[in-house]
Amino acid sequence: MSAVLPRDTLPPVIAPDETNASISAKISDAALRRPTGWLWIAGFGLALLLCGLLFVGICWLLYAGLGIFGLNIPVAWSFFIANYVWWIAIGMGGTFISAAMYLTRQGWRNSINRFAEAMTVFAVSVSGIFPILHLGRPWFFYWLFPYPDVMNLWPQWRSSLEWDFWAILAYLIVSIVYWYIGMLPDLATLRDRAPTLAQARFYGLLSLGWRGEARHWMRLEQFNLITAGLAVTLVFSVHSMVALDFSEGLVPGWHETIFPPFFVAGALFSGFAMVLVLGIPLRKWFGFEAYLTERHIVNMAKMMLAAGLFVDYSYFSEIFTAFYSMDKYDVAMTMHRVVGPYAWVFWGTVLFNVLLIQLLWFPRIRRNAAAVFVIALGVLIGMWLERFMLIVTSLYEDFLPSAWGMFWPTLWDILFLIGSIGLFFFMFLLFARLLPMLSMFELRKLVASQRRTEARP
């Protein structure tokens, strides 16, 4: 059998000389003892600056209203909704890695799940800003919540926009809880290895006094297992509801049954891309080569390619269905997309999401971290363009030519997009500085299970 299969030249999922002691030392020292480098300070300063811009933007938006953006009739949804879908999609990839690959016992996921979950928490938090600020009167956002008020107002339960509110609420809280409870044992490690009393107190409070007794582990393991199962359900249901926000509308280009699975595939695609964009530099800067090996990058690249092919199939299916239906509005919308004034958005999406990722078929490229990083960055750009394309090119030329109109972003539109990236990196850099970036106890488990397999005759 082994003569037929090509020789596996990739390194093992964890360097063979790693022990419980070395895992604990290397990963906790990154948070406890590593000096704050100039690169981190520079990145943090930039992120802080962008957060400041976002803050200014939010203040101006609350004062002046939605008129500061380029949206109007017919294009009443644009950058904000694209940003929202883009960010929440990025979050999905993290949950999928952490939950679905836990259920399928992919041991290699033990070294990426922690920062992937952190990415999820931050991306979902950032995404939540957009729909609320897009309400026009954001201070009434709590009207989405059913409470017995004097106006006798209840939410419209039949609307997918209301479902979306519940889905995001559940998803945000569940991903924070899953991330934090899974981090307790590692916070306890930081507490016990802290060089100063102040650090010991900080991590002591965060770890809630975790000691690692066998019966406590058993409960935690059961919780993680069931929550993983529920989180996979959340990934698919939440992003399907995001898609239903569109497909419930009777607009050509939105009113399609393929939208829920199409959006879920796009979510995993951009989520895997973001994990690569974050993981490749982390691996290099923090010296985690022993845990985030070449095998991880290759595996992630393969998963990104697989998700990308699903997305590409959906593009094809959308165009095919438009012509197959012979619905003149669907055909016109498709033609506007491909050759209209926003054609560059369509072709940009095709370049990044269809053509560029085909390079990942080549093993040499999958094994080149820099190339994978660039392709993943391209995927993130391509996925943003795709959201913009789906939203704006479906709206700008709809049924009546007299109601057609272009959308041009204002500076504020662009500022909110860049500012949200700043907010994400602000949170992620704090995470990288203060918390255990890789899951130490799951890596110890991985080492133990590898020892067992080796010992087996």
Partner 1 sequence: MSVRLHGLLAEFADAEHLLAAVRRARADGYYASGIEAYSPYPIEGLDKELGARHHRVAFWMLIGAIGGGAFTYWLEWHSAVVNYPINIGGRPLFSWPAFIPPAVEMAILWAVLLGVLAVLYGARLPRVHHPLFANHEFERATSDHFFLLVRGDDPRFDAQATQQFLAGLSPLSVVAVAQE
Which range, of 5-13, 56-64, 226-234, 413-421, touches partner 1 by CB under 8 A? 226-234
Complex with partner 1: residue 222 or 325, whichever CB lies closer: 222
Give, as ranges, the residues between 231 and 260 that touch partner 1 (CB under 8 A): 233-234, 237-238, 241
> Quick check: 218 binds partner 1 (CB under 8 A)?
yes
Other Cβ atoms within 10 Å of 456 Cβ, number: 6
Which residue of 33, 137, 219, 284 would you call a contact of partner 1, by CB under 8 A? 219
> Quick check: 152 binds partner 1 (CB under 8 A)?
yes
How far is 443 from 440, CA to CA, in rounded Å? 5
Q: Which residues contact 44 (CB under 8 A, 6 or more apart)?
A: 426, 429, 430
| Rounded least distance, CB 17 to partner 1, Å | 14
Amino acid at 412: W
| Rounded least distance, CB 300 to partner 1, Å | 24
Complex with partner 1: residue 3 or 250, whichever CB lies closer: 250
> Quick check: 19 binds partner 1 (CB under 8 A)?
yes
> Whose structure tokens read 């009393």?
197
Which range, of 330-338, 364-372, 394-402, 444-452, touches partner 1 by CB under 8 A? 444-452
Amino acid at 308: G
> Quick check: 214 binds partner 1 (CB under 8 A)?
yes
DSSP symbol at 12 = P
* DSSP-derived 3-state class of residue 105: coil
Which residue of 58, 68, 192, 202 would you call a contact of partner 1, by CB under 8 A? 192
> Quick check: 20 binds partner 1 (CB under 8 A)?
yes
> Quick check: 21 binds partner 1 (CB under 8 A)?
yes
Q: Which residues contact 457 (CB under 8 A, 6 or more apart)?
A: none
Structure token pair of residue 198: 């102040």
DSSP 131-181: HHHTTSSGGGGGGGS----TT-----TT-HHHHHHHHHHHHHHHHHHHHHH
* DSSP-derived 3-state class of residue 393: helix
> Quick check: 29 binds partner 1 (CB under 8 A)?
no
Complex with partner 1: residue 89 or 232, whichever CB lies closer: 232
| Rounded least distance, CB 453 to partner 1, Å | 13
Which residue of 38, 139, 142, 157 would you call a contact of partner 1, by CB under 8 A? 157
Complex with partner 1: residue 47 or 234, whichever CB lies closer: 234
How far is 419 from 53, CA to CA, in rounded Å? 6
Structure token pair of residue 145: 């919540």
Which residue of 6, 209, 401, 457 would you call a contact of partner 1, by CB under 8 A? 209
Q: Which residues of 372-387 are buried (b: 16+ CB within 10 A; e: fewer)?
A: bbebbbbbbbbbbbbb
> Quick check: 226 binds partner 1 (CB under 8 A)?
yes
Complex with partner 1: residue 159 or 325, whichever CB lies closer: 159
Give, as ranges, the residues between 319 and 358 that touch partner 1 (CB under 8 A): none
> Quick check: 410 binds partner 1 (CB under 8 A)?
no
| Rounded least distance, CB 288 to partner 1, Å | 18
How far is 318 from 257, CA to CA, in rounded Å? 10
Which range, of 8-16, 166-174, 296-304, 381-389, touches partner 1 by CB under 8 A? 166-174
Which residue of 50, 167, 277, 372 would you call a contact of partner 1, by CB under 8 A? 167
> Whose structure tokens read 């959201």?
387
Rg of the chain in Å (alpha carbons): 23
> Quick check: 24 binds partner 1 (CB under 8 A)?
yes
| Rounded least distance, CB 217 to partner 1, Å | 4
| Dihedral angle over CA of 80, 416, 177, 268, nearest 10 | 60
Q: How far does the chain reach from its first CA to its final CA, in angstroms? A: 18
> Quick check: 33 binds partner 1 (CB under 8 A)?
no
Closest CA to 412 of 133, 107, 207: 133
Chain positions contacting partner 1, by CB under 8 A: 19-21, 24-25, 28, 146, 152, 154-155, 157-158, 160, 162-163, 166-167, 169-171, 173-174, 177-178, 181, 185, 188-189, 191-193, 204-205, 208-223, 226-227, 230, 233-234, 237-238, 241, 440-442, 444-445, 448
